[in-house]
Structure 1
């Protein structure tokens, strides 16, 4: 990581920019307020030549916004006044002598020297001995003035500020902080949303993270909605932000550069970003939730405890004012970030809640459980609107008023035995549908009303049940990672399996897809995070 830029250098660059663009009032105000001394010229040789040739109008224009020591200013202005008298321009000499700031200072600090100049200006004929009492000549005085001012000036290439900003942006693109072809709003300091790529199958591993130690590994990973961050939460409690282009830790975030990571007391088992990508919520296996500011790494709110057992899934509502959570304690809760209190609680699952999700309009809450069901809740009343058992050949959708029949009970019992629901994943291109991942050989697309509309299956019978799933940027592809550590890719329109990629030889923990590019991340229980691209 390059060394940070000194604040004084930033001021100097701004001064140079103002000077180049003739913004003299702003330049003068900045130089008066700032203690920074900076006297830039485009070409030192040319500047010194102007002094040697006595082109004082040009010299004065350049030095008027410079910070020059008083002694050297006295010498400069004195010589200009002498030469104005010599060339029979007494009126100009009088104006400089009586109205310029350097000469006003000279009058107060060197009375005899000022009086000599007054006498020189008042005489009708130029008096060489009075002008140069020390025996110097015009040429030697110009040479001495040039030598003195040469020590004060700095040569700066034109448009240095803009050139440096361009270099910074290129560096950030190289680091993956900015997308290679993305523009940057310099005045607002924001990156416009990166345009999503056309979908292509991510099947080539291009980078790998290896956490240090034998027992450290990622329990969860998630991309920010703006595509600029990949966050991981590890079994040892650390939360880290990564550069998905290089697979390296984001050292542009000051707290990470200083090894001061976001962290929780116990294993971090779920993460999620707010819609504006500025906040990150984390849940740990001791039932606690924390909300972090990504740019500073500071904790904005702690909910402790939020649940009586581990927090398995978290997400923000639309405006980032609430957090939805699911837990091993079989409950789903909504927490207010302003109050830090539980606002709503949803009960009805008979086993672990593995995944939770707000509907796009925040009127519904979805939850997936190890009891084999997905439930759709009314976010306001907390009543259960639908209970769905995603299983091939079984589609049970029942509201809260529907009585349980023996047939339904048998079907649910079958689901309990075979298909833990691992996750529910939103489909950005179709806000009324979600992708459902079950611990089986099948993935499903389900509507918010609880209807299963599509099934994806690799047809293998044992040792390859799905543990996680994700969707491509344009929602044309569905990814599922199996217990066999194979990444399966299906085409949504046809439901066909179009690619299989063996990721590793270890047990896979999870999967995440970049929201804008064809990048997929998988992570295992041996401390590896694998980055795949098309």
Structure 2
């Protein structure tokens, strides 16, 4: 199940850290500014024992730093005053009765009890019958108060903040977000990679397989989040599911999935995209609808129904997460406002399906690729096509552009995958700077591609159900891995680890890593 931490608990963790490091003044200022107290004791047994044995100087000092309900504080102070009267400490009893907040509240809300205490103070002799109700004694009353106050305090294990931070780092390491050999910077989202083990390495070994239930259920698309914490699939039956890519199991730590309340659309989900913080997920379906989800809660924040007249083949956020870019079978490219829920821009000009869209040039321009074999560069502000590129690379036929993607650490160029045996790195004005090919002439056209975390490797799936890996530096083929006997549908890569996921049309998602 997912965990939500209250802001007050975060402050309490900081307070404990400050007090354990003898920063009492800073802790006191933080308590005064936030009105939050730590509300813990070193030992609940010792605390209740002090009450039961009447060590009131110690108890009153402790409760002054604790958040105790007024009703229970009134009971405590009333008992202390009664015992001070019994010991003939009338001056101290009078001070507590007339100058403390709990007794002021007692006078306001329970005047009869307050007057009884005043009456005890005025008598020269102490009579337990006047102080306690029938059948009640001093020791019984102490025990009742000890039990009541003991339930209001917690015992925090020492160094709780540092322990939680260490556990968080360990979890991130297990998820592949941190490397065991990396220098961890707490002010960065990821580790600083320095060792060779953390460099890009050929992923060619299947370590985990996700199998969808039923004969006709399979993932149409899959995607890792930018922070590496989520691996999401969109399926032909409309479900959007978040998986643990390390073991192939559904993430049950997410409340909505544990309760079988999956994110879902009315028709097949054929496109997915995360915002830069991984907090939001956008999905597109075959009925032309787009939905925006909160990844952690599964809550649908926005629906565009419909966004296009036909299926939404490609979706992505701009860098600020304020807009969604989409391409469709209806041959159009659109920009939608996340807050407004309205279509903001529309680009027309492709002669066939738009298969892929991408923001470029600091989101001032858009690239789109279609089944008409062309790539178009659009000016967002002017809502106009700047130029059209034919990336067919010496082919006379129009080769459908399957995907366009950016490659980490390679600026001002994109990777183009079209229905051929070649991939190409291309500048924004259409100049091909490098090509990648497996050399097979028939039956192995590329379907889709992905890049390794540092942009040193390019992975691509082909019609022969194999994954090909190329070196960006040399352009050479590094490896070919046969994944399935069924048709591969899509490929995605982990942003921080040497992990690639491929999905086929028979209900399998294969997670592949380096050996």
TM range (shorter): 0.7 to 0.9
TM-score, normalisation: structure 2: 0.80
Give the deviation of 1:358 after TM superposition.
1.9
Equivalent residues in 2 for 1:74-93, closer than 5 Å: 74-83=78-87, 85=89, 91-93=91-93
Which residue in the other structure is 2:418 paired with? Answer: 438
Give the deviation of 1:437 after TM superposition.
1.3
Q: Structure 2 vs 1, CA of residues 433 and 119 (structure 1 numbering), >3 Å: closer, same or farther?
A: same
Q: 1:484 aligns with which of 454, 464, 474?
A: 464
Which residue in the other structure is 1:117 paired with? Answer: 121
Which residue in the other structure is 1:150 paired with? Answer: 146
Which residue in the other structure is 1:228 paired with? Answer: 229
Root mean square deviation, CA, Å: 4.1
Equivalent residues in 2 for 1:63-462, closer than 5 Å: 63-64=63-64, 65=66, 66-67=68-69, 68=72, 70-71=74-75, 73-83=77-87, 85=89, 91-100=91-100, 105=106, 108-110=111-113, 111=115, 114-120=118-124, 130-131=125-126, 143-144=139-140, 146-152=142-148, 153-154=150-151, 156-159=155-158, 162=161, 165=164, 169=168, 173=172, 176=175, 192-193=189-190, 197-337=198-338, 338=340, 340-341=342-343, 343-347=345-349, 349-379=350-380, 380-391=382-393, 394=394, 411=395, 414-416=396-398, 419-462=399-442
Which residue in the other structure is 1:404 paired with? Answer: none
Give the deviation of 1:233 after TM superposition.
1.1
Residues 477 and 490, structure 1, Cα contact 8 Å, conserved in 2? yes
Q: Structure 2 vs 1, CA of residues 195 and 510 (structure 1 numbering), >3 Å: closer, same or farther?
A: farther
Give the stretch that moved more between structures: 454-463 or 467-476.
454-463
Which residue in the other structure is 1:472 paired with? Answer: 452
Give the deviation of 1:433 after TM superposition.
0.7
Give the deviation of 1:184 after TM superposition.
10
Larger Rg, first or second structure (1 or 2): 1
Residues 18 and 26, structure 1, Cα contact 8 Å, conserved in 2? no
Separation (CA, whole Å) in 2 of partners of 1:157 and 1:324: 48
TM-score, normalisation: structure 1: 0.77
Q: Is there any run of 5+ residues in structure 1 with no aligned partner, and where?
A: 121-129, 395-410
Give the deviation of 1:48 after TM superposition.
5.7
Give the secondary-structure state (helix, strand or coil) at the position aligned to 1:432.
strand
Separation (CA, whole Å) in 1 of partners of 2:377 and 2:117: 92
Q: Structure 2 vs 1, CA of residues 59 and 294 (structure 1 numbering), >3 Å: closer, same or farther?
A: closer
1:327-359 Cα deviation digits (max 9, x unpaired) = 223333334443612522230x33322212221
Q: Structure 2 vs 1, CA of residues 471 and 71 (structure 1 numbering), >3 Å: closer, same or farther?
A: closer
Separation (CA, whole Å) in 1 of partners of 2:210 and 2:373: 33
Give the deviation of 1:470 after TM superposition.
0.8
Give the stretch that moved more between structures: 506-515 or 76-85.
76-85
Separation (CA, whole Å) in 2 of partners of 1:312 and 1:48: 65
Separation (CA, whole Å) in 1 of partners of 2:172 and 2:4: 19
Q: Structure 2 vs 1, CA of residues 102 and 373 (structure 1 numbering), >3 Å: closer, same or farther?
A: closer
Which residue in the other structure is 1:398 paired with? Answer: none
Q: Structure 2 vs 1, CA of residues 311 and 135 (structure 1 numbering), >3 Å: closer, same or farther?
A: closer
Residues 194 and 516, structure 1, Cα contact 8 Å, conserved in 2? no
